[in-house]
Amino acid sequence: MKIGAHVLRNALFVAPMAGVTDRPFRQLARRFGAGLAVSEMVASRPELRQSRKSRLRLDHEGEAAPISVQIAGADPALMADAARFNVDRGAQIIDINMGCPAKKVCNVYAGSALLGDEALVARILEAVVDAVEVPVTLKIRTGPSPQQRNALRIGRIAQAAGVQLLAIHGRTRACGFAGRAEYDTIAEVKSRLAIPVIANGDIRTPEDARQVLRRTGADGLMIGRAAPGRPWIFREIEHYLTSGVRLAPPTVEEIGGVLLEHLAGLYALYGDEQGTRVARKHIGWTVSGLPLGEQFRREANRIETAQAQLAAVRGYFERLAAAANDERAERLAA
């Protein structure tokens, strides 16, 4: 997979998710096999650039190339300026958000709300492509509503404007995240465009990945909600697509080590106090489905300091590992 001059390891992408795909998460996902991890969206409004939230979202220190930054907004001139601003600060790919269904984004006529105004879409894409020399990519949904799926027209506008890759989530703006993703629209867009098309939506397992690729003919896959707490999903999908064989799941020891590494990255980026708060959701996602995971999640949510949080996570996984070892010993003795 290539985007401009950038050659990616594979065609597996981390979907940009606000509050999730910060630098520590992106680094983990890349280490586990993702070809590209797009940043959390950053607003195009210049008065927001110096906020703490924006500065943290624009922190790419130590991040492997290529660095892809997603921008959001509805004004072509501001979007062009935001693209230049981010390229000047290290972005090597600019991604445009026209897929977010969140009300606070759509209420300012950004994200997937833009899909209802194809002329404005064209002006934004042309302005951003003309503003920077790096590749520009686009994330969309299949349309404003199930009765108005216009992804193919948006795709043609994007291709004509010079956008180099299109990612499509298989739901409309009106659908939010309800129901099942549909892939027929993605398949139609892929069959009609020359630029790469990436399929997104309800890809939770390696088998899902293969099925969606076969169903859509897409050039790659974008993984979103299945990745938090499971960054190794990229390793599992990459292996399955190339070999047809399922990898063994990670051991308890590996899961615990990955989570501790993630927590250390969160504390380093946000500081101990905010990092402890941000870490709670990642702890919850990671221990979901593990023995006594829900009980531990509730306990961990009450911890106030980074040091105590680390100790609790370490202790939890040590107890799981000891229990697993005891179980193995009992089976061997039987």
Catalytic residues: 100
**Does residue 221 come out as left (phi exceeding 0), alpha (psi in the -120 to 50 range) or beta?**
beta
C-alpha to C-alpha distance for 127 and 82, rounded to whole angstroms: 11
> Up-side HSE of residue 54: CA atoms within 13 Å toward CB?
16
The owner of tokens 């096999």 is 33
Contact, 157 vs 117, CB < 8 A? Answer: no
Least Cα distance to 132 among 177, 93, 75 occurs for: 93
4 torsion bin: left (phi>0), alpha (psi -120 to 50), beta (else): left
Rounded (10°) CA dihedral 325, 327, 331, 334: 110
Angle, helices 272-287 vs 252-270, to 10°: value is: 150
Contact yes or no for 131/103 (Cβ under 8 A) = no
Secondary structure class of 43 (helix, strand, coil): strand
Task: For residue 48, give the DSSP letter.
Answer: G
Structure tokens at 82: 């935001």
The SS3 assignment for 239 reads: helix
- The C-alpha R_g of the chain, in whole angstroms, comes to 21
Distance from the Cα of residue 124 to its chain's centroid: 23
Find, among 218, 222, 227, 252, the residue nearest to 320 by Cα.
252
d(CA 218, CA 28): 25
Measure the CA–CA gap between 150 and 125, rounded to whole angstroms: 16
